[in-house]
């Protein structure tokens, strides 16, 4: 297996081998563990997610609670907790996990079927509404949770449930059986992972089957639209809202418009798209299929060159929670769902393993520090579903949502962050993210090595690595040179050197001695960024970026709405770290201009020469991820240039 893959293909270092001891991330991961995860358990109880399982298990009655994909909230929470348990044993949290798994276990049918909505509300309609029913989606999340559970705790209780469900699905769908595919992708990547863990080839075949079904001429979801009345869905009648009528069905919403190998544009629901591309990438890693890899590259280029916010956020439109057309990136009405950011990180992480090219690591970093991290408040208790880049002051994080996909998605990414930092390949060890801590890995000859990483990233660009190993050994240390850097400097044991750069990684191949140290210094000036000229929403505007961080202005630091602020070409900026501000951030200060509003009393439009004088105002930029943690007010990432 995988012999088709080249020398640079990475294998992520598993969570348990990675320690995070970082000024920036450690407190966030701790808050996630100590506050978000217990808080979300409370929400699972209060929103009725757990009651749904109890109902099906015969332990309580009453009405099913929430949308039909409610089960997945529990699964994503379980997955998050199990990642956390793998690095931070916590008997109290583990007891809650066991309790929830016991409930899930009792809800599972004899034949392996498990989905509380269909079991409780529409038992006669299982597997009939693949477009919006979310049965396969929920199953995928169960499988991912089960793998996190067995990896994190060594217990197989959830894995057994997941395998029984996967086997049941495999008995229903596939060549010679019922044809079908999930409306919301997710199970594809879960099945590949289940195959990797169990070595059961049926799971890989089933993942490939679902991927191959997409965009085929049968168009299962159109068929469902045609038979809506006949099947008589109950509360699931969202199909027409999102897929249209059977006459105008085009499949874009669920990436069912074309066979996946022919796709070139990211379309439809952004989270669905990301999860599909994750599954396609996982499959490509296993099969090395060139047509699949080519499609993935076309899709990646489409989204990153034409359909992505500077924050890495994706999905411009509310109506489909997804993509629209090239260069359409409205700032105020941006959807940029937090879950789509999670999906974008997951997909880029997978592409990075497959291709070994730093551009995927660059994207992973951009999304992580901006579009993703804005999704959670500094106190870990409130979440954005939608992440606009401009607000007039009415958009705020919430504790929970009726459709609560985002909070546990944030939690599972934070809890598994260690998984995204390092990879190994046949050359040696690659560092994708600069996060203080350490990693233990084994050379191809079985020798263990510990790499210690020390840094004050993302506030400073200096990273120091120390190699710990018993005796000298040769391997390559590969350090991602971020796309945002201007200059960088590398020293080994204090001696500057110019390393060769392979696929965007500085490659330090040498015979390492115990205690050898490497310093990477990335220059981190304030960059003034322009968007592509066809992004009309950003015409005449600039954004500030420093290192991996996109900045914004908030009204609370200024005396007027930030939407009227303009920057001059001669602007100069000062960066300074403020330990007391927003949990500690580097603020960028400078000067801007605003119009004297008193010149504009009682006039809405006037000739340009009578617009009146401008006034200088001091400006304070904060990282975008930290906005909406103080007084409510306007916020803008893209700031007008002085004309």
Would you name the residues annotated as active-site residues? 321, 405
Neighbours of 241 (CB within 10 A): 11
Binding of residue 533 to a second copy (CB under 8 A):
yes
Binding of residue 90 to a second copy (CB under 8 A):
no
Binding of residue 529 to a second copy (CB under 8 A):
yes
**Which residue in the block uniquely carries the two structure tokens 């710990």?**
468
Work out which of 563, 575, 586, 629 binds a second copy, going by CB under 8 A.
563
Question: What is the distance between the alpha carbons of residues 552 and 639, in angstroms, rounded to a whole number?
Answer: 8
Question: What is the distance between the alpha carbons of residues 52 and 61, in angstroms, rounded to a whole number?
Answer: 9
Question: What is the distance between the alpha carbons of residues 267 and 273, in angstroms, rounded to a whole number?
Answer: 7
Binding of residue 566 to a second copy (CB under 8 A):
yes
Binding of residue 534 to a second copy (CB under 8 A):
yes
What length is written for the chain? 643
Instruction: Work out the angle between the directed axes of helices 270-287 and 187-198 (0-180°, nearest 10).
Output: 30
Q: Which stretch binds a second copy (CB under 8 A): 17-25, 47-55, 325-333, 450-458?
A: 325-333
Q: Which stretch binds a second copy (CB under 8 A): 128-136, 188-196, 241-249, 633-641?
A: 633-641
Binding of residue 355 to a second copy (CB under 8 A):
no
Work out which of 158, 430, 531, 549 binds a second copy, going by CB under 8 A.
531
Beta bridge partners of 449: 441, 469
Binding of residue 328 to a second copy (CB under 8 A):
yes
Work out which of 166, 373, 390, 520 binds a second copy, going by CB under 8 A.
390
Work out which of 549, 594, 619, 637 binds a second copy, going by CB under 8 A.
594
Binding of residue 643 to a second copy (CB under 8 A):
yes
Cα–chain-centroid distance for residue 302?
A: 18
Work out which of 447, 540, 577, 618 binds a second copy, going by CB under 8 A.
540
Binding of residue 34 to a second copy (CB under 8 A):
no
Q: Which stretch binds a second copy (CB under 8 A): 161-169, 347-355, 461-469, 601-609?
A: 601-609
Vertex 401, ends 400 and 403: CA angle to 5°?
140
Binding of residue 603 to a second copy (CB under 8 A):
yes
Question: What is the distance between the alpha carbons of residues 369 and 320, in angstroms, rounded to a whole number?
Answer: 25
Question: What is the distance between the alpha carbons of residues 258 and 249, in angstroms, rounded to a whole number?
Answer: 12
Neighbours of 41 (CB within 10 A): 20
Binding of residue 367 to a second copy (CB under 8 A):
no
For 165, how many CA atoms within 13 A lie in the half-sphere containing its CB?
30
Binding of residue 564 to a second copy (CB under 8 A):
yes
Binding of residue 605 to a second copy (CB under 8 A):
yes
Question: What is the distance between the alpha carbons of residues 344 and 360, in angstroms, rounded to a whole number?
Answer: 10
Question: Residue 115: CB partners within 8 Å, gap ≥ 6?
Answer: 71, 126, 134, 135, 138, 139
CA-nearest of 181, 198, 105 to 137 is 181
Whose Cβ is closer to a second copy: residue 230's or residue 609's? 609
Report, in Å, the least distance between residue 319 CB and a second copy: 11
Binding of residue 378 to a second copy (CB under 8 A):
no
Binding of residue 613 to a second copy (CB under 8 A):
no
Torsion angles phi and psi, residue 435, rounded to 5: -140, 125
DSSP state of 426: S
Q: Which stretch binds a second copy (CB under 8 A): 15-23, 162-170, 242-250, 556-564?
A: 556-564
Beta bridge partners of 542: 639
Which helix or strand (DSSP H or E) is residue 362 part of?
helix 358-366
Binding of residue 536 to a second copy (CB under 8 A):
yes
Question: What is the distance between the alpha carbons of residues 394 and 275, in angstroms, rounded to a whole number?
Answer: 30
Interface with a second copy in residues 414-473 (CB under 8 A): none
Whose Cβ is closer to a second copy: residue 305's or residue 577's? 305
Cβ 68 vs Cβ 235: under 8 Å = yes
Binding of residue 527 to a second copy (CB under 8 A):
yes
Q: Omega of the bond prior to 458 within 30 degrees of 0, cis?
A: yes
Work out which of 597, 616, 618, 631 binds a second copy, going by CB under 8 A.
597
Report, in Å, the least distance between residue 307 CB and a second copy: 9
Neighbours of 575 (CB within 10 A): 18
Q: Which stretch binds a second copy (CB under 8 A): 121-129, 172-180, 215-223, 605-613?
A: 605-613
How many residues lie near a second copy (CB under 8 A)?
50
Whose Cβ is closer to a second copy: residue 10's or residue 551's? 551
Report, in Å, the least distance between residue 566 CB and a second copy: 7
Binding of residue 248 to a second copy (CB under 8 A):
no
Binding of residue 487 to a second copy (CB under 8 A):
no
Work out which of 153, 263, 304, 556 binds a second copy, going by CB under 8 A.
304
Binding of residue 595 to a second copy (CB under 8 A):
yes
Question: Which of helix, strand or coil describes residue 517?
Answer: strand
Question: What is the distance between the alpha carbons of residues 176 and 205, in angstroms, rounded to a whole number?
Answer: 13
Binding of residue 523 to a second copy (CB under 8 A):
no
Cα–chain-centroid distance for residue 17?
A: 22
Whose Cβ is closer to a second copy: residue 442's or residue 600's? 600
Residues in touch with a second copy (CB under 8 A): 301, 304-306, 308, 310, 325, 328, 330, 332-333, 390, 392, 527-536, 539-543, 561, 563-564, 566, 569, 594-595, 597, 600, 602-608, 611, 636, 640-643
């Amino acid at each position: 297996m995988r012999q088709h893959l080249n020398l640079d293909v990475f294998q992520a270092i598993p969570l348990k081998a990675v320690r995070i001891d970082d000024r920036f991330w450690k407190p966030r991961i701790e808050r996630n563990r100590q506050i978000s995860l217990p808080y979300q358990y409370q929400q699972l109880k209060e929103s009725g997610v757990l009651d749904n399982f109890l109902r099906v298990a015969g332990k309580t009655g009453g009405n099913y609670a929430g949308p039909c994909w409610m089960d997945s909230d529990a699964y994503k929470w379980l997955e998050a907790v199990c990642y956390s348990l793998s690095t931070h044993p916590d008997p109290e949290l583990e007891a809650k996990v066991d309790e929830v798994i016991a409930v899930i276990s009792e809800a599972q049918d004899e034949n392996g079927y498990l989905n509380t909505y269909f079991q409780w509300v529409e038992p006669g309609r299982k597997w009939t509404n693949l477009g919006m029913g979310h049965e396969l989606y929920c199953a995928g999340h169960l499988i991912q949770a089960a793998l996190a559970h067995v990896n994190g705790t060594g217990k197989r209780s959830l894995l057994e449930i997941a395998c029984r469900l996967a086997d049941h699905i495999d008995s229903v769908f596939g060549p010679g059986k019922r044809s079908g595919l999930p409306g919301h992708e997710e199970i594809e990547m879960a099945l590949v992972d289940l195959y990797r863990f169990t070595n059961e080839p049926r799971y890989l075949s089933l993942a490939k089957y679902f991927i191959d079904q997409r965009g085929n001429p049968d168009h299962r979801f159109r068929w469902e639209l045609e038979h809506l009345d006949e099947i008589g869905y109950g509360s699931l009648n969202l199909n027409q809202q999102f897929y249209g009528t059977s006459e105008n069905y085009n499949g874009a919403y669920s990436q069912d418009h074309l066979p996946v190998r022919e796709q070139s544009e990211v379309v439809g629901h952004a989270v669905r798209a990301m999860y599909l591309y994750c599954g396609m990438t996982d499959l490509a890693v296993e099969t090395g299929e060139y047509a699949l890899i080519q499609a993935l590259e076309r899709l990646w280029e489409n989204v990153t060159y034409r359909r992505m916010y500077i924050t890495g956020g994706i999905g411009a439109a509310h109506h489909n929670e997804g993509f629209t057309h090239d260069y359409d990136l409205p700032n105020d009405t941006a959807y940029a769902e937090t879950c789509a950011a999670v999906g974008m990180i997951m997909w880029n992480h997978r592409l990075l393993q497959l291709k070994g090219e730093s551009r995927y690591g660059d994207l992973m970093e951009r999304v992580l520090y901006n579009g993703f991290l804005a999704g959670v408040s500094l106190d870990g208790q409130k979440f954005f579903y939608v992440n606009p880049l401009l607000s007039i002051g009415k958009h705020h994080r919430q504790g929970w949502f009726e459709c609560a996909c985002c909070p546990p998605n944030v939690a599972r990414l934070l809890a598994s962050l260690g998984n995204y930092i390092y990879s190994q390949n046949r050359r040696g060890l690659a560092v994708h993210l600069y996060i203080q801590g350490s990693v233990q890995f084994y050379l191809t000859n079985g020798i263990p090595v510990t790499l210690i990483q020390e840094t004050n990233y993302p506030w400073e660009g200096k990273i120091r690595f120390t190699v710990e190993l018993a005796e000298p050994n040769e391997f390559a240390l590969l350090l991602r040179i971020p796309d945002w850097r201007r200059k960088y400097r590398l020293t080994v044991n204090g001696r500057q050197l110019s390393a060769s750069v392979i696929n965007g990684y500085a490659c330090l191949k040498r015979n390492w001695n115990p205690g050898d140290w490497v310093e990477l210094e990335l220059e981190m000036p304030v960059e003034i960024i322009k968007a592509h000229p066809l992004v009309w929403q950003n015409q005449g505007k600039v954004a500030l970026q420093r290192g991996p961080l996109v900045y914004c202005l908030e009204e609370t630091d200024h005396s007027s709405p930030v939407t009227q602020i303009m920057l001059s070409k001669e602007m100069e900026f000062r960066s300074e770290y403020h330990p007391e501000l927003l949990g500690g951030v580097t603020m960028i200060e400078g000067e801007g201009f605003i119009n004297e509003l008193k010149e504009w009393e009682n006039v809405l439009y006037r000739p340009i020469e009578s617009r009146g004088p401008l006034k200088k105002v001091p400006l304070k930029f904060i990282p975008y991820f930290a906005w909406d943690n103080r007084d409510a007010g306007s916020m803008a990432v893209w700031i007008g240039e002085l004309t």
